Amino acid sequence: MADTYAEFVQMMREQGAANNGPSIELAVMTGPKSCKIGTLQLSGEDLYIPDRLMSPACTGVKVPALNKDASSYSSPLKAGDTVAVCRLSQTAYLILQRVVSGA
């Protein structure tokens, strides 16, 4: 009977996992086009990066009367940035966004 119970529990785990979508994980950028999830290094064809994170992006427009740009810009991805990533396949990941700690 113990084997039947173990098989039933295993079947429940497999069915539960089959219906779960991909999980979102945190990664640390090791360069502008590479990151690391734990010990897994990702770059090149393994990694999809939104173009908005590849170059400075305006986050607030401010042009005072002197017509000098005082707008604020986010910097492109760099080593040390934390990003949220989603697994697309066995070998491909998508960077969703740069994230910061809420602490």
Q: What is the pLDDT of residue 49?
A: 95
Q: What is the pLDDT of residue 2?
A: 63
92 lies in some domain: yes
Residue 36 lies in a domain: yes
Q: Judge whether 12 lies within some domain.
A: no
Residues of the chain with pLDDT under 70: 1-2, 17-18
Note down the domain range covering 42.
21-99
Count of structural domains, the chain: 1
Helices and strands counted in the chain (H then E): 1, 8
pLDDT for 86: 94
Q: Does a structural domain hold residue 44?
A: yes
The pLDDT, as a whole number, for residue 33 is: 95
- DSSP characters for 88-101? -SSS-EEEEEEE--
Q: Which residues of 45-79 are buried (b: 16+ CB within 10 A; e: fewer)?
A: eebebeeebeeeeeeeeeeeeeeeeeeeeeebbee
Q: Would you state the pLDDT for residue 8?
A: 84
Domain assignment of residue 77, yes or no: yes
